[in-house]
Amino acid sequence: LTSYLTAHRDTPGIPPTEDHERLAPPQRIGEQLMLGLRLSDGITLDWIHANIPPHTPRHTAIEELIHINMLERTPTHLKLTRQGLFVADSVIAKLL
């Protein structure tokens, strides 16, 4: 904490960082899926349609996870089912 506060004080308005990572589009989509599916509402179908084309491995995985009741498609969102919540890390890993 001391290092953070000292660094922050030396450069007002700019938080210190040690490192950053630039993700390629497929990795960025995976990260957004991971974070979005952890929300109770899930991730919007509009986002899914805009970022995950049909007939791709990720799209196929989503359909399979819906079929085995780990994900559910509502009229507006894709989200984890109650069953999927218990194994969320495994479900999300299949989409990365």
**Which tokens in the block code for residue 43?**
């991730």
Cβ neighbours around 91 below 10 Å, total: 20
pLDDT tens sequence across 33-90: 999 999 999 999 999 999 999 999 999 999 999 999 999 999 999 999 999 999 999 9
Q: Residue 4's pLDDT is what? A: 67
Contacts of the segment 82-91: beta carbons below 8 A, 24+ positions apart: 88/37, 88/38, 91/37, 91/65
Q: pLDDT class for 17, splitting at 50, 70, 90?
A: low
Report the alpha-carbon distance of residue 5 to residue 54 in Å, rounded: 48
pTM metric for this prediction? 0.75
